[in-house]
């Protein structure tokens, strides 16, 4: 076994333990990505979902109880595993706790603030979006053509980077106001 000095000579003031820990973390992160590229993809998408909650404004009528949690829901097969729960655990947005729920029908979905529609629901996507008309629900998916069918935020994977497009008209029709900050980082804005 060969022992390699991981401390670059140009950083003599940085403690060796910190540099060693950073190098080790990068090594583990690289192995994790090599073994499971979709795990990293859905970790990024989970972080985006959490951040969407910070940059979208819902009408006060959709959250009349000030102590009610802001609900992020998943319809269909959950691709996030524990990632979404881990990212949101103990966090709040505008003073509201975050609650992650798996929903099984559209009646439940209408009570969510953010609804991630999994690709497993692709066959029913048009009917799902029609059933959500009039509800103050931010719809998000990673299904191709989601924005064109009336969805609000669509994740796209481009050059191994998670990006998203926004259908501003669909969000406004649902009574939602998307921050200009969020719109400025979107890859595509329609409507």
103 and 109 in contact (C-beta within 8 Å)?
yes
pLDDT on residue 39:
60
CA distance 77 to 21: 36
Angle at CA 164, nearest 5°, toward 27 and 114?
100
pLDDT on residue 145:
94
pTM of the model: 0.79
Q: Which of 183, 112, 120, 110 is nearest to 153 (CA)?
A: 183
- Residues forming beta bridges with residue 99, ordered by sequence position: 71
pLDDT on residue 38:
57
pLDDT on residue 33:
39
118 and 81 in contact (C-beta within 8 Å)?
no
Token match 């259908």: residue? Answer: 167
Helix residue spans in 6-91 (DSSP H): 16-35, 37-54, 83-88
170 and 150 in contact (C-beta within 8 Å)?
yes
CATH number of 37-190: 3.40.50, 1.10.150, 3.10.20, 1.10.860? Answer: 3.40.50
CA distance 165 to 138: 13
Segment (H or E) for 130: helix 125-131
- Residues 96-153 pLDDT 10s: 999 999 999 999 999 999 999 999 999 999 999 999 999 999 999 999 999 999 999 9
- Residues 5-64 pLDDT 10s: 333 444 344 343 333 333 333 333 343 333 344 569 999 999 999 999 999 999 999 988
Which carries the bigger pLDDT value, residue 4 or residue 70? 70
């Amino acid at each position: 076994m060969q022992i390699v000095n991981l401390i670059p000579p140009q950083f003599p003031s940085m403690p060796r333990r910190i540099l060693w820990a950073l190098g080790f973390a990068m090594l583990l992160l690289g192995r994790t990505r090599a073994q499971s590229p979709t795990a990293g993809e859905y970790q990024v998408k989970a972080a985006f979902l959490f951040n969407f909650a910070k940059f979208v404004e819902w009408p006060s009528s959709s959250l009349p109880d000030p102590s009610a949690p802001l609900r992020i829901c998943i319809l269909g097969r959950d691709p996030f595993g524990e990632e979404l729960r881990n990212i949101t655990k103990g966090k709040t947005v505008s003073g509201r706790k975050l609650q992650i729920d798996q929903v099984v029908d559209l009646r439940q979905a209408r009570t969510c603030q953010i609804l991630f529609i999994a690709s497993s629901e692709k066959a029913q996507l048009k009917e799902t979006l029609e059933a959500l008309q009039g509800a103050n629900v931010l719809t998000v998916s990673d299904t191709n053509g989601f924005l064109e069918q009336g969805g609000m935020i669509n994740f796209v994977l481009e050059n191994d980077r998670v990006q998203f497009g926004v259908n501003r008209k669909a969000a406004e029709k649902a009574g939602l106001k998307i921050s200009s900050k969020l719109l400025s980082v979107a890859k595509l804005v329609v409507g």
